[in-house]
Amino acid sequence: MADTRIKSEISGNVWKILKAPGEAVAEEEPVMILESMKMEIPVMAPRDGVVASITVAEGDTVAEDQVVATLKG
């Protein structure tokens, strides 16, 4: 099974990364928090799983629909 890609819903900046590759996450658990227009927007895991990769760094700019992390398949 292919890895699950987690995408950003918004354009903004990566404020805090909460999970590292290899860490387990539960469905609806925040993987990172983005910041845009003075709002903090969490990026949630779409299902239970293990983080395969984090594809952005704190302070990075992200675009809407950009992949920011993946979960192991």
Partner 1 sequence: MFHKVLVANRGAVAARVVRALRLLGVRSVAVYSEADATASYVAEADEAYAIGPAPARDSYLNQDRLLEVARQCGADALHPGYGFLSENANFARRVQAAGLVFIGPSPRWIEAMGEKTAARALMAQHGMPMAAGSGLLGTDPAEVTAAAARIGYPVLVKPAAGGGGIGMLAAADETALLAAVERSRAISSRSFSDAQVYLEKLVERPRHVEFQMLGDRHGQVRHLFERDCSVQRRHQKVIEEAPAPGLPRPRAAAMAAEATGILAQLGYDNIGTVEMLLGADGQFSFLEMNTRLQVEHAVTEMVTGIDLVASMIRVAAGEALDAVLPAEIAVNGHAIEARVYAEDPVRFLPSPGPLHRFRPPAESATLRVETGYREGMTVTPHYDPLLAKVIAHAPTRGAAIAALAQALDSFEVQGIRTNLAFIQRMLASDAFRAGDVHTGLATETKN
Cβ contacts of residue 53 below 8 Å, gap of 6+? 3, 21, 69, 70
Binding mask 27-46 for partner 1 (x = CB under 8 A): --------xxxxx-x-----
Q: Are 54 and 32 spatial neighbours (Cβ–Cβ below 8 Å)?
A: yes
Of 3 and 35, CB closest to partner 1: 35
| Rg of the Cα atoms in the chain | 11
Identified binder of partner 1 from the candidate list 4, 5, 7, 10, rule CB under 8 A = 10
Q: Rule CB under 8 A: is residue 1 a binding residue for partner 1?
A: no
For 2, which DSSP code?
Answer: P
Shortest distance (Å) from residue 13 CB to partner 1? 6
Binding site for partner 1 (CB under 8 A): 9-13, 35-39, 41, 61
